[in-house]
Amino acid sequence: MVGWTRKGTVKGRGARTPFAAREAPSTVTPAAEGDGRKEIIRLEGVSKVYRMGDVEVQALKGVDLTVYQGEFIVILGPSGSGKTTLLNLLGGMDTITSGRMVVNGWDISRLTVQELTEYRRTQIGFVFQFFNLIPTLTALENVELALELVDGDHRGKAREALEAVGLAHRADHFPSQLSGGEQQRVAIARAICKDPPILLCDEPTGELDYETGKKILALMQEINEKMGQTIIMVTHNSAISEISHRTVYLHSGSLAKVVKTEVRKRAEELEW
């Protein structure tokens, strides 16, 4: 299925230069080294309040969390517990109400709008529940679109990414000509083609059948292991926590607990 390695067609962590090398803005905090692991995400007392007229919704309440480079983190919690809010904040698509959030040296809470755009463009790949592909573009064009504003050979990079997710032979198909699982692979190719250090996934298997969902999880696990990307995956399927390094439990906007997975499973072994 996925045939690349660190030295393969898609750049591995060791080989990467183009985007990670781009300087983070002046609001940078040096990443701390804990147990020899590099800290990549730090949340300190992060809160998010949505205001709708007179009504206030406290979507996140004082969340503290540190994530290390290369970790596969699963975020579990019932509907309305703040999972998507947390992901959107990490993705720079929304701003925190209070607290502090530093991602790969970028102090998100203090970025200008322009810096935030640059942050999203260089640091984050997003995989959504409903794939969010553009129906009038082919698989290849959908991936290429993500490379807009990036230097270099777009078509070549897009093809590499499609190859990495096992979809090279579907490059010229439109989303409507692809199965759900294939569409999600295109979306994953779109997320990884710029080689961002962090992948954020919101219920990536929510719309897929059991077997297809497991294959997508296997692909994410492989990307995490071979490309070294840090993955934050939101789900309400507790079985998925078994492939994580750690699982973060959210409850009513608060971080209830963080649990280390003692014996990690391969995605293929999961049952739910």
Q: Segment near ligand ADP (CB under 6 A), from 6-14, 36-44, 75-83, 207-215?
A: 75-83
- Interacting residues of 62 by C-beta distance below 8 A, sequence separation 6+: 45, 46, 47, 99, 254
Among 10, 74, 81, 217, binds ligand ADP (CB under 6 A): 81
d(CA 101, CA 123): 14
Contacts to Mg ion from residues 66-85, by CB under 5 A: 83-84
- Contact between 130 and ligand ADP (CB under 6 A)? no
CA dihedral 105, 98, 249, 211 (to 10 degrees): -60
d(CA 174, CA 143): 12
Contact 75, 83 (CB under 8 A): yes
In the complex with ligand ADP, the residue whose CB is nearer, 218 or 234, is: 234
Query: With helix as H, strand as E and coil as C, how does 76-108 read?
Result: ECCCCCCHHHHHHHHCCCCCCCEEEEEECCEEH
Q: Which of 155, 159, 94 is nearest to 126 (CA)?
A: 94
In the complex with ligand ADP, the residue whose CB is nearer, 77 or 99, is: 77
∠ CA 58-60-65, rounded to 5°: 165
| Minimum separation from the CB atom of position 146 to ligand ADP (A) | 24
Among 82, 91, 125, 197, binds ligand ADP (CB under 6 A): 82
User: Which of the choices ligand ADP, Mg ion, none does residue 247 contact, using the CB cut-off of 5 to 8 A by kind?
Assistant: none
| Residue type at position 240 | I
In the complex with ligand ADP, the residue whose CB is nearer, 161 or 200, is: 200
- Contact between 129 and ligand ADP (CB under 6 A)? no
Q: Which residues pair with 47 in a beta bridge?
A: 98
In the complex with ligand ADP, the residue whose CB is nearer, 10 or 73, is: 73
Contacts to ligand ADP from residues 44-63, by CB under 6 A: 50, 52, 57, 59
DSSP state of 141: H
Among 11, 31, 77, 144, binds ligand ADP (CB under 6 A): 77
- Contact between 3 and ligand ADP (CB under 6 A)? no
**DSSP H helical ranges for 35-76:** none
In the complex with ligand ADP, the residue whose CB is nearer, 31 or 63, is: 63
Q: Segment near ligand ADP (CB under 6 A), from 77-85, 114-122, 164-172, 216-224?
A: 77-85
Contact 46, 100 (CB under 8 A): yes
| Minimum separation from the CB atom of position 105 to ligand ADP (A) | 26
Strand order across the beta sheet in which 124-127 lies: 124-127, 198-202, 230-235, 72-76, 246-251, 254-260
| Minimum separation from the CB atom of position 61 to Mg ion (A) | 17
Binding site for ligand ADP (CB under 6 A): 50, 52, 57, 59, 77, 79-85
Q: Which residues of the shown chain bind Mg ion in the complex (CB under 5 A)?
A: 83-84
